[in-house]
Amino acid sequence: MMKNWSLLLFLFALPFNVLAGKFSEPSLRARHLGHARKLQSRNNTGSCQPQPFKLQDFYQGNSFLNDWEFFSGEDPTHGNVNYQTRENAINKGLAYVQQDGAAVLAVDDYSTVPVNGRRDSVRIFSKKSYSNGLFIADFFTMPHGCSVWPAYWSFGPNWPSAGEIDVLEGVHNQLTNQMSLHTSAGCSLPSKLSQTEATSNILHTECVSSGESNIGCSFSDTDPQSYGHNFNVAGGGVFAHLWDNTGIKIWRFSRGNIPADITSKNPNPASWGVPAANFPSSSCDIASHFFEHNLVINTSICGDFAGATYPTSGCPGTCGEAVANATNFQCVIRFAVMAQDPAEDARKRGMRRKSAPKAVIHADAQEFDAKAVHRVGDV
C-alpha cells in the first residue's frame, strides 16, 4: 500500500466566459448561458478557431498550502474522519512541505482510535472557483488500501445543482480509476460511445444524483495502471480534464507518455488522442449543470462509498475495525503535491530522485463581455 500523492496542478483558461458576479443572479445567469450557448454554436459550426490556452493558476510548495482552504467540518460523505484545520494539520504533521518542495497531506497513522471511531485526515479545496477550463494534475503517487477513499474532484454550490466532476476516485484496493459526473435532473451519458470517443467502459448513464441515490454517470478506466498500487509502481501519471460547452473530457497519461506540450506548459488537447472519459453536451447542457466549482483533494475513510462497499472488497473484518488500527494506515494514506519547472523535474528524475512531480491547474483565454464576465484569475 502507498500513502503518497505527488501532484502537479496547472489551471489553463479556455476561450469561455466566467461570471464576475453571483451565478444565482437571474440577469447574470441568463447572460452567462446566452454567451456560452453562442460560443458552443460557433464551435459546432467550425467558425471559431481554437484559442491558445493561457496559464491562470499554478500551485506549488508553500503556496499550495496557502492558496487552498482546509475544510474542518463534518465529512459530508459520512466518513470516519476528523478533517483538520490548517493549523492543526500542520501541528500534527498532516500537512507540510518537504525540502524538495512537495506539499504533503496525510492521514493520522500513529493514533489508536476506537472501533468505528474517527481518524484525523485532511481535505483541502481551492480558494478560487471555476466555471470552465483545462485542468492538469500530475500525481507521482496516490493513496489506496482497505477502508481508504481518496479523490481529486470538483463541485459547485447547492449540490448537485452546480454539478460535480470526479477525475480520480476509488476505494480500497480498486484496480482502475473511476471518473464520474453528478448533476441535477436533465443530464445523462449516451449509452454507447465509440472507441474513437472514449477508451474507458461506461458504468452508469444517469448523471442525476441526490442524497438517496448518488451513483452518477461514470466510466471505469481499462488500464490497471490508472489507480492505486499499480499506478504508484508505474511512477504515477498525469490527469487532464477539459471542461467546455461541448462537454467534459478526461485524459490520463502514464509517466512515460506525458505529452511534450504538457511539460512545456503549452497544452494542446487536440493532439492528445481519444480521452479516457467523455461526457458530451449532446445529452447534457454543460453550461447550466456545471458552474462555480472549487477543486478538492481529500482522503476519507469508510463513509458512503468505502463503507458501503467494504463487505465485498476482499478486505478483512469490518471497515470500522480497519479504522481503529493505526498500522493499517502506515504507508497507505499520504499524498505529496509539488509543482516545479518540468525540465528541472526531468533532470532530477534522471538523477534517480524519488519524489513528487508537479501540479498545475487552470487557464482562460478571452473575455466576451467585459461588463458581465472576466477571465479566470483576473482581479
Among 376, 272, 358, CA closest to 13: 376
Among 81, 78, 55, 54, CA closest to 70: 81
Q: How confident is the model at residue 21 (pLDDT cuts 50, 70, 90)?
A: very low
3-class secondary-structure state, position 87:
helix
Give residue 72's domain range: 6-374
The yes-or-no verdict on residue 38 having pLDDT over 60 is no
Q: Is the residue at 379 inside a domain?
A: no
Among 95, 98, 154, 156, CA closest to 120: 95
Q: How confident is the model at residue 7 (pLDDT cuts 50, 70, 90)?
A: low
The yes-or-no verdict on residue 174 having pLDDT over 80 is yes
> Are the CB atoms for 111 and 120 separated by under 8 Å?
yes
pLDDT given at position 351: 37
The conformation of residue 280, written as its DSSP 8-state character, comes to E
Q: Is the residue at 190 inside a domain?
A: yes
Q: What is the pTM of this model?
A: 0.80
Average pLDDT value for the chain:
79
The CATH code of the domain that includes 135 is 2.60.120.200
Mean pLDDT of all residues in 140-159: 92
C-alpha distances in angstroms, 304 versus 41, 77, 189, 310?
40, 6, 23, 10
> Are the CB atoms for 239 and 167 separated by under 8 Å?
yes
Give the integer Cα–Cα distance in Å for 169 and 183: 17
Percentage with pLDDT > 70 across the chain: 73
3-class secondary-structure state, position 263:
helix
Q: Is the residue at 1 inside a domain?
A: no
The yes-or-no verdict on residue 78 having pLDDT over 70 is yes
Q: How confident is the model at residue 60 (pLDDT cuts 50, 70, 90)?
A: confident
Please say if 25 is a catalytic residue: no
DSSP string, 303-363: HHHHHHHGGGTT-SS-HHHHHH-GGGGTTTSEEEE----HHHHHHHHHTT--S----EEEE
Look up residue 213 and give its amino acid. S
Domain count across the chain: 1
DSSP string, 131-148: SSEEEEEEES----BTTE
Span 233-243, pLDDT tens digits: 898 889 999 99
Which one is catalytic: 74, 169, 292, 344? Answer: 169
> Are the CB atoms for 335 and 95 separated by under 8 Å?
no
Cα of 327 vs its chain's centroid, Å: 28
Span 318-374, pLDDT tens digits: 999 999 988 878 655 456 554 433 334 444 444 333 333 334 445 543 222 222 222
Which one is catalytic: 25, 74, 164, 344? Answer: 164
Span 268-320, pLDDT tens digits: 999 999 999 999 999 999 999 999 999 999 999 999 999 999 999 999 999 99
Please say if 206 is a catalytic residue: no
Mean pLDDT of all residues in 118-136: 94
> Are the CB atoms for 23 and 32 separated by under 8 Å?
yes
